[in-house]
Amino acid sequence: MLVYLSTAYSQIDDKNRLMRDLMAVVARLTELHRKEKWHIVTPLFNHFILGHMTTMRSDYDFWKEYSRELLERCQLIVVVEFPGMDLLKSVGVQDEIRSAFLLKRPVIYIKPEDLYERCIAN
């Protein structure tokens, strides 16, 4: 199953830490859902890398079409809420949730700390 991963990007100042934390979430979700064969994709890695290596913008207006195309191909949307984040203020996350609703895709919300509590319980 192709799974779209969403989280706020612009409101986070330390993008390097956000990417490290996001990679850990992807690894943990992949591990927890290996039987369901989750294949996790996110446009955020491209936002980050291309923003460092080119003059491409990292705002959601620039990436909206790319993000929506990717989201359309996914069967599930996972929204990650890191500590201190306000997902309601994220234009990108709100648009992705609206798009998922219109596409009739399920959306689940997770907090990274919940993933590691499940790890201890397993």
> Which structural domains are found in the chain, ordered by start?
2-121 (3.40.50.10400)
Q: What number is the average pLDDT over the span 6-25? A: 84
Strand intervals (E) in the chain? 2-6, 39-41, 76-80, 107-110
CA atoms within 13 A on the CB side of 77: 26
Q: Which of 44-53, 60-69, 70-79 tops mean pLDDT?
A: 70-79
This prediction has a pTM of 0.83
CA atoms within 13 A on the CB side of 2: 10
Q: What number is the average pLDDT over the span 2-18? A: 85
Please provide the DSSP assignment of 52-82 as one string. Answer: HHSS---SHHHHHHHHHHHHHT-SEEEEE--
Residue with tokens 């830490």: 17
Q: What is the pLDDT of residue 100?
A: 96
- Residue 63, pLDDT above cutoff 80: no
Q: What number is the average pLDDT over the span 96-110? A: 96
Q: Confidence class of residue 11 from pLDDT cuts 50, 70 and 90?
A: confident
